[in-house]
Structure 1
Amino acid sequence: MNDSNQVVDSTPAPFSFPPDSGTTPEPCVILSFDVEEHYRIEAASHLSFSPEVKAQYAARVGPVTRWILEQLGERDIKATFFIVGELAKNDPGLVRDIHSAGHEVASHGWDHRRILAMTPGEFREDLRCSVDLLQQITGEAVCGYRAPTFSVVQHTTWAIDILAESGLLYDSSIYPVCHDRYGIPDAPCSPFLVEGPGGGRILELPPATLRIGGMNLPVGGGGYFRLLPTLFLKWGIRQSFRHGDPAVATLYFHPWEFDPGQPRLPLQGLSHVRTYSGIRRGRRRLVALLDEGHFGRAADIARRIDGAKCSTYPRTLSSEIVLNYQ
């Protein structure tokens, strides 16, 4: 087995997927969108907003998300939408539109609070409320969860046990990178089973990375999709296909990133750069990406991985996270 944490492609060969080897079921690129109002982003967590301003941002979520649905529909692409519970409560019609188009509806928490800001009891209730509401709206079981700001980190691994006991099929909250707001740098870069400190186990679908110079470069979406040349994202996908076990790449985006006309938040310095650089070319880049690849829903690919009893990387992430590698 090749370890994607050790192997580095020397040159980014032409982008193509699915892989030629045929060892991974098609499609093997998970396409996902985190649906939240723009004011909820972590970079703005220190700011206060009036109800009128919140409503202004909330009103923009539906139109831009439906633009995404149109682009996916034209190409017969199915994706996963991780939706904030409060947004779903206020706009259940958007959730139904996503679901009726054949896309997966998954949980992005109730109000986009990071797990770091919650106790285990609060997180359990946050998860329950969001999952219950989404299931009531769609009439279908919720299979997956993604923590706001990828906030399953070294100090919140207790959340893995809660996710496992909830009966969810998969989680997509651990980003194997070094970042000031999130990340577990030594976590595996391809799907793996993770075990919490209480013994709970769940399938983890980490966002795509690119291994360069002994470090994982985050290339799976979000601001990196806008800030970096798309060459890096394509290179990361190819690396996942060549050296990942299983050969799966997970991409993530936010609808607000494709709404260049939205009012700008009063962010400063690095936060402003991360949030708004490249936002005017976001739609063009997304359309080009959708035209090139084959994509799938997280739940569908997770079921295939689970059915094959995926168990990889027989090592610990830290003293608090232990991988199952039977």
Structure 2
Amino acid sequence: MNKHPSLNAMTVDVEDFFHVSAFDSIIKPEDWKDYQPRVEDNTRRLMDLFARKGVKSTFFVLGWVAERYPQLIKDIHQQGHEIASHGYAHRRASSQTREEFLADVTRSKNHLEDLLGEAVTGYRAPSFSIGYDNEWAFEVLKELGFVYSSSTYPVKHDLYGTPDWPRFAYQRKEGITEIPIPTLKIMGRQVPIGGGGYFRLYPYAMTRKLVSRYLNQERQPYSFYFHPWEIDADQPRLTQAPLKSRFRHYINLDKTEAKLARLLDDFNWSTMKDVYGVS
């Protein structure tokens, strides 16, 4: 197919396999030291792929990762990508008090800005965990100087979801731009098409069709998200995890990098700042 002319946002949530919310029931933060990190090598593989394809991306970096791999974060930035915050300890915003959320996000933002010598203006909550019960999180983000967030997913899901919230980028009353993860309306239902596990689950031809339909139907930019561990088929298998969590996490890991390369070829990509004009 010919490349669609629309400019879309490529985003990466920089975290390791043992950070994910799906494994919260079996891995606590105090256990992270017991696992061999793989995030640096996987992220550098992605950087190489982006360089080959001439793509710039927004990297939502976990503070825990940034503290341990400062040169990785500097290298991402030096290659022209945008650095944004994914919080510090990958705790869902919905599981924190306002004070805990403030402390977590402040620690991440300050460390990233010290590394880069410039303001970090974008934030994404782990597991899209800003919703009905913690809208105060947007007030905190505004207080800390963030300009935009990408922390909501207007779908019904057992871990997250704000199905009746706006589907496209909008200015919130707190003074911050929220950029929801994309959905496509099919037969009255909002279907998730933003990436992550759905990208690994769907055949690539289906993803390409859904994204093209979204761009043609909605006339809005599309944003895509995924994680470095999603291209790592050799990561340890956590057999003690619940079956549903294992299915979601491990399905088609061996196919993701090739599918991603096709996605980069079929559509035009840049950073959140460039695509949505947020800075």
TM range (shorter): over 0.9
Structure 2 counterpart of 1:31, one-letter code: M
Instruction: Give the structure-1-normalised TM-score.
Output: 0.80
Mapped pair 1:18 → 2:5: yes
Mapped pair 1:114 → 2:92: yes
2:227 to 237, 251, 254: 254
Q: Is the 2:154–2:190 Cα contact (8 Å) retained in structure 1?
A: yes
Structure 2 Cα separation of the partners of residues 225 and 79 of structure 1: 17
Of 292-301 and 98-107, deviating more is: 292-301
Gaps of 5+ in 2: none
Structure 1 Cα separation of the partners of residues 199 and 27 of structure 2: 28
* Residue of structure 2 equivalent to 1:206: 180
- The 3-state SS of whatever aligns with 2:269 is coil
State the 1:15 CA deviation.
7.2
* Residue of structure 2 equivalent to 1:129: 107
State the 1:293 CA deviation.
1.7
State the 1:52 CA deviation.
4.9
Structure 1 Cα separation of the partners of residues 117 and 214 of structure 2: 34
Structure 1 Cα separation of the partners of residues 143 and 222 of structure 2: 26
- Deviations along 1:229-286, one digit per CA (max 9) or x if unpaired, are 23343334334323436x1111001000001001012322211111111111011111
Q: Is the 2:18–2:32 Cα contact (8 Å) retained in structure 1?
A: no
Q: Is the 1:169–1:302 Cα contact (8 Å) retained in structure 2?
A: no
Mapped pair 1:76 → 2:49: no
Structure 2 counterpart of 1:106, one-letter code: A
- Deviations along 1:173-224, one digit per CA (max 9) or x if unpaired, are 01011101001001222211223xxxx1211111122211211111111000
1:142 to 101, 117, 120: 120
- The 3-state SS of whatever aligns with 1:156 is coil
Gaps of 5+ in 1: 1-13, 20-26, 307-326
Instruction: Give the structure-2-normalised TM-score.
Output: 0.93
Provide the aligned length of Structure 1 versus Structure 2: 276
* Residue of structure 2 equivalent to 1:313: none
Structure 2 Cα separation of the partners of residues 219 and 96 of structure 1: 31
Mapped pair 1:53 → 2:34: yes
* Residue of structure 2 equivalent to 1:42: 21
* Residue of structure 1 equivalent to 2:10: 31
Q: Is the 1:208–1:236 Cα contact (8 Å) retained in structure 2?
A: no
* Residue of structure 2 equivalent to 1:315: none
- Deviations along 1:85-110, one digit per CA (max 9) or x if unpaired, are 01100110110111111100100001
Structure 1 counterpart of 2:83, one-letter code: V
Q: Is the 2:18–2:27 Cα contact (8 Å) retained in structure 1?
A: no
Structure 1 Cα separation of the partners of residues 161 and 53 of structure 2: 33
Structure 1 counterpart of 2:10, one-letter code: L
2:248 to 274, 279, 291: 274
1:228 to 195, 202, 214: 202
- The 3-state SS of whatever aligns with 2:102 is helix
State the 1:156 CA deviation.
1.4
Q: Is the 2:3–2:265 Cα contact (8 Å) retained in structure 1?
A: no
State the 1:228 CA deviation.
1.2
Identity rate of aligned residues, in percent? 37
Mapped pair 1:92 → 2:70: yes
Q: Is the 2:208–2:263 Cα contact (8 Å) retained in structure 1?
A: no
